[in-house]
Amino acid sequence: MTRLSQFWPAIQRVADANGVARLGASDLTDSHSELFDAWLDRGHHATMHYLSKNRATRSDPASRFPWAKSVVVILVPYTPTRPDAAEGALTNHIARYAFGDDYHDVLDRILREIEAVFAGAGVKTWRYVDTGPLSDRAYGAQSGLGWIGRNGMLINQELGSYFFIGTLLTSLENDIAPHAVADRCGTCTRCLEACPTDAILPDRTLDSNLCISYATIEHRGPLPATLPLAGNAFGCDICQEVCPWNHDPAPAHPSFAPRDEYRATPISDLLRYEQEDFSTLFRKSAIKRAKLAGMQRNVAALFDSAAGTEGE
């Protein structure tokens, strides 16, 4: 029987060479699947209906991939701090994870490098970078790479939570024992207290209907009139900014360094952009997920909010 440990040293070398900060492995059991099902049943996924289409696969990846026996998990840090920029610059109003290149592409390239380790060995694999019905945070926790914090984020004691997660299903038996990781949130409730919309739920999940990140990225159509954006036009980092485990985060992967043009572009410029302008500025960027119409809606809402505040 071929086991994951036979390839682990080679996988570790590839990971180290490609800026992976932490590497782990898990079997296919998803200990968070019941919590996820309950989250769906309560409608906390809002309009993200695609999340409810593949419940069986998420609970048991082997139902789609009968050969799958293990999951390799990688953590790749992104930029933890905002760069200096003039007031109103784009970088002041977008989540840190979107400062650089699209994480889907970067982590997919790394996972492909790991797949190459198995070349000729008859190992089957399937890559996921936030692209399918797989709970990457659950597998990260089960791999001993951190714990699920009160804000629903995977938190690593040394890295904090400013990192991306990539997963690779394999046909190898998992015999990589995870390190025991304690839940270190303790009695801290800073993230709950800081969230301006009370989106963080007691069971360490989020109500997407109240989440600024969901509203500015995934939601289509007009924004809820009562939802405060708190200065955000794409995503939200508030619950991470107040987390004490992000006091000394890891250096970012070079691909996620803040783009100079984002520091130089006033966010108000997006209101006059045509599609070509948008596609050029956000080439190979995760911000394209919101689309031009979504970003213009968000920016307009920011200015409407600012005007309302000044008039009070």
3-state secondary structure of 20: coil
**Residue 155 tokens, joined:** 């938190």
Give the Cα separation of 265 and 208 in Å (integer).
29
Q: How many Cβ atoms from other residues are within 10 Å of residue 311's Cβ?
A: 6
Residue 249, Cβ density class (10 Å: 0-12 exposed, 13-18 middle, ≥19 buried): buried
Beta strand residue intervals within the chain, DSSP E: 22-27, 70-77, 125-128, 147-148, 154-155, 163-170
Beta partners for residue 200, in sequence order: 206
Tell me whether residue 203 is one of the annotated catalytic residues.
no
- Structure tokens of 56? 């069986």
d(C-alpha 177, C-alpha 165), whole Å? 19
Largest distance between two CA atoms of the chain: 71
Question: Among the options 27, 37, 108, 130, which is catalytic?
Answer: 130
Q: For residue 310, what are the contacts with CB-CB under 8 A and spacing of at least 6?
A: none
CA dist., res. 233 & res. 164, Å (int): 20
List CB contacts of 266: < 8 A, sequence separation 6 or more.
86, 88, 89, 90
Active site residues: 130
